[in-house]
Homo-oligomer: A and B are copies of this chain.
Amino acid sequence: MIKVFCLNSVTKEISENCPVADISELRKDPKNVVWADVSDPTSKDFEALAEEFDFHHLSIEDCRNEHQRPKVEEYSGYYFLVLYEASLVGDDDVLELRELNIFLGKNYLVTVHSRPIRAIATAHRLWSEWLDQSKVGAGLLAYLLIDAIVDDYLPLLDIISEGMDDLEDSIFGKWRAEVIEEIFMVKKKLLYLRRAITPLRDVFNTLLRREQPIFPHETHVYFQDVFDHLIRVADNIDTLRDMLASTMEAYLSVSGNRMNQIMKRLTSISTILMSATLIAGIYGMNFLFMPEIKWRFGYVFALLSMVGVALALYAYLKKVDWL
């Protein structure tokens, strides 16, 4: 489904639901800023896009095939961007990455996505609000959209960060062996988030350092801002990964220590029991001449010596810290 918005940048009026067939007409007038939002695109939609905007068939191809890597590509007359919106869904905080394809031309913006993108609503709202205070070309619209997507990563990383504090408590506080599976799951999430962000950071870095800036001078500062947020998100992800590696290491060490502690204790107890058993074994021997056997308190003596040996061993093992 294609929804077309058209802003007359002089009268500052936005006409909604323009017919698709008018697009090529509308975008001829440099005063207009055209935004075509294509959700759940069909083959016919792609054909309409190719016709109205004259896109290169390779970029249409990339649009059709999902699971592109995040990127910014330069075609003659427009840029083609692939971004991913991220959110945690369900009770298990499963990570969902929703692909958004953007065609950014001089005075038009085309967004293509097969799943609903929250940032589109946000950008649409801010677009109307910002109409007065700034020059509102297609570049600014793209900024609002990309910024909304990138900024959404930060609260998500905060949730992951809090989850990691819990993991840490589980390791140094109330021990749970299953922590390992949770660490693994967080690691995977961070890996996917990193894949969705770092290529964009690197591309924006290249684009912004170019001799001839691709974005007009007024919007340059806005894309600098997006770049700054991209770095921040990428830095946060890297820090979380570093922390997770440390947490994993701590888990392994603490796990090893706990196990060692338990084995030392169990083996110590075995040793104590065996020494008592040895005494019992000695007085169970069938020699005819064993003086203790006939003592009045031989039995009590034997029991006491068992207790005595056990206590002595216990004290010794405690002292050398094996128990």
Contact = CB atoms under 8 A, between A and B. Distances in A.
Contacts of A177: 257, 261
B264 A267 contact: no
A319 interface: no
A210 to B, nearest CB: 12
A157 B303 CA distance: 60
B287 A281 contact: no
A16 interface: no
A296 interface: yes
Interface in A161-190: 172, 177, 180-181, 184, 187-188
Given A274-B277, A285-B283, A221 B58 contact: yes
Interface in A226-246: 228, 231-232, 235, 239, 242-243, 246
Contacts of A256: 252, 255-256
Interface stretch (A30-38, A65-73, A98-106, A109-117): A65-73
Contacts of A297: 289
Contacts of A290: 286, 299
Nearest to A231: B69
Contacts of A259: 260, 264
A185 to B, nearest CB: 9
A73 B75 CA distance: 27
A221 B195 CA distance: 24
A217 B200 CA distance: 26
Contacts of A242: 191
A280 B280 CA distance: 9
A191 B239 contact: yes
Nearest to A313: B269
A240 to B, nearest CB: 10
Interface string A278-305: 1011111111111111111111001100
A87 interface: no
Contacts of A18: none
A195 B73 CA distance: 26
A298 to B, nearest CB: 5
A294 B299 CA distance: 14
A262 interface: yes
Nearest to A251: B253
A254 interface: yes
Interface in A205-237: 221-222, 224-225, 228, 231-232, 235
Nearest to A180: B253
B322 A303 contact: no
A11 interface: no
19 contacts: A58-B222, A69-B235, A71-B228, A177-B261, A184-B246, A184-B250, A191-B243, A191-B246, A248-B253, A256-B256, A259-B260, A266-B267, A274-B274, A276-B281, A283-B285, A283-B286, A287-B299, A288-B293, A289-B299
